[in-house]
Homo-oligomer: A and B are copies of this chain.
Amino acid sequence: MKKMLNGTRDLQLFEVLESEVRSYCRSFPTKFQKATGYQLWDSNGNGYIDFFAGAGALNYGHNEPQMKQKLIDYIMRDGVAHSLDMATEAKERFLSEFNEIILKPRNMTYKVMFPGPTGTNAVESALKLARKVTGRQTVMSFTNAFHGMTLGALAVTGNKFKRAGAGVPLNHSISMPYDGYMGKEIDTLKFIENYLQDSGSGVSLPAAIIVETVQGEGGINVASSEWLKGLERLCKAYGMLLIVDDVQMGCGRTGTFFSFERSGIQPDIICMSKSIGGYGLPMAITLMKPEHDQWSPGEHNGTFRGNNLAFITATEALRYWKTSQFAADIAVKADKVKRSLQRIISNYPELNGEHRGLGLMQGIALEEGVAEQISQLAFEKGLIMETSGTNSEVIKVMPPLTIDMEGLETGLQLLEQCMNDIKLEARAPIANV
């Protein structure tokens, strides 16, 4: 069993100089220095296993050696670092490889847009395009969706606290029940179709449906393949574009490169960011079917849409997808996580846990407050795990996809120890809240 962390954690400078908006540094209150693969070290030399993976931006782990080498080589030879949307060799190579390794083998024909290097930018560009292509304004989104923090993306995000931050009403969106939101017995697709086909429903025909195939921030809610296919059918029937926000679930997080592969759908627009850059460098792409590429030049732009350092690492990251081995490895690890979580749940029935998720986006839903306690305990033991769900009720297991079996095992053991500690606390005469 791992010892508790050493050293003082002097974060005073952050408290004085950085805005109150800071957040993860409150959950993981130490100063990080170094990282490789699935491990992080702080200034006091404490090591941490990373079951957080940069909220999905580090699917290939920290400072992956081959990407690192390519990155250094590029910088050393004075490769263009910043280029807006001018043509560069680095960008050309990314486009070419992405097409060869990702799109072609999946029989996908898409144009690639560089909308600015963040997920919210990809979403904003997707919403603009869908509205332009259809000439409609409303976009249908889902309960517990998370799509970003700029005004357009925020309008299709479910979280009330985040929405309230806008300070203005968020309009031109309609929030429909996600798969399973109304309980297992009710098919929310049917409800949605009612609203679309009934000319008295008060809802105008949307330009698009924007959906995550698994809602990560929303509590690890998995949409069934049938439901996703149903959405695609509705989109075709009512002239809407289907936008899949694969910012967090893409790049292998759920087991395949695109998270929707399991369902067989072909979205009209796909938003990617986070791990697309490979190394945790800011980058985003928006994919669109060629017939929807109705942009005028410069109609959407952004200073950092040509982050060539990210193109270098992004291209290198594609190497993982050249064969089916990587997906097969993820499947093995996912299975291990699933079995471990199920065992933990059954070992601690008092905690009333519910397994959630698939691929390496799994977790346990717990009673309110418990997941946050576990996250805190885990941190003390050297394991970084975040919570999700509206009330932070889900503890998330989300390691780099490249984690080895030993790291996975160790992390899961630490998680189990936290469950045990919680249970012990629950039994103790005076509860520690």
Chain B residues near A92 (CB, 8 Å)?
Answer: 13-14, 31
Determine if B149 and A151 form an interchain contact, defined as CB atoms under 8 angstroms apart. no
Complex-state Cα separation, A223 to B204, whole angstroms: 24
A 25-48 binary contact with B (CB < 8 Å = 1; else 0): 110111111111000100100000
CB <8 Å contact, A203 and B182: no
Task: Give the nearest-CB partner of A99 in chain B.
Answer: B17
Q: Is B137 a contact partner of A82 (Cβ separation < 8 A)?
A: no
Does B75 lie within 8 Å of A68, measured CB to CB?
A: yes
Among A28, A68, A153, A280, chain B packs the most CB atoms within 10 A around the CB of: A280
Structural contact, A76 and B80, CB atoms closer than 8 A: no
Interfacial chain B residues near A194, Cβ < 8 Å: 181-182
- Interface segment among A121-129, A230-238, A409-417: the answer is A121-129
- One digit per residue, 1 when the CB lies within 8 angstroms of any chain B CB and 0 when it does not, for chain A 60-76 equals 00110000100110011
Q: Interface majority SS on A: helix, strand, loop or mixed? A: loop
A275: shortest Cβ distance to chain B, in Å? 10
Contact of A20 among B24, B137, B145, B296 (CB under 8 A): B296
Interface assignment of A429: CB less than 8 Å from any CB of chain B: no
A83 at the interface (CB under 8 A from B): yes
- Asked if A229 CB lies within 8 Å of chain B CBs, one says no
B34, B127, B167, B298: the one within 8 Å of A79 (CB): B34
B residues in contact with A303, CB < 8 Å: 54-57, 118-119, 247, 273-274
Number of copies: 4
Which B residues are CB-close (under 8 A) to A307? 281-282
Q: Assess A31 versus B301: contact at CB under 8 Å? Given A20-B294, A200-B143.
A: no
Q: Is A1 an interface residue (CB 8 A)?
A: no
Complex: A56 Cα to B175 Cα, angstroms: 35
CB distance from A125 to the nearest CB of B (A): 8
Q: A58 at the A/B interface (Cβ < 8 Å)?
A: yes
On whether A72 and B77 interact (CB within 8 A), knowing A13-B95, A19-B111, the answer reads: no
CA A56 – CA B301 in complex, angstroms? 14
**Min CB distance, A100 to chain B, in Å?**
10
**Chain B residues with CB below 8 A from A85, complex form:** 21-25
A175 to B103, CA, bound (A): 40
Q: List 9 A-B contacts (CB under 8 A).
A: A82-B281, A118-B121, A137-B168, A138-B169, A158-B201, A160-B201, A171-B171, A281-B307, A282-B307
Contact residues of A with B, CB < 8 Å?
11, 13-14, 17-26, 28-36, 40, 43, 54-58, 62-63, 68, 71-72, 75-89, 91-92, 95-96, 98-99, 111-114, 116-121, 124-125, 127-128, 130-132, 137-138, 141-145, 148-153, 155-169, 171-173, 175, 177, 181-182, 186, 191, 194-195, 198-204, 207, 218-219, 247, 273-274, 279-282, 286, 288, 293-304, 307, 309, 389-391
Given contacts A161-B299, A281-B309, 20 further A-B contacts (CB under 8 A): A13-B92, A14-B87, A18-B95, A18-B113, A19-B113, A20-B296, A25-B86, A31-B88, A82-B280, A117-B304, A118-B302, A119-B302, A124-B149, A128-B166, A130-B167, A138-B169, A143-B202, A144-B198, A150-B153, A156-B202
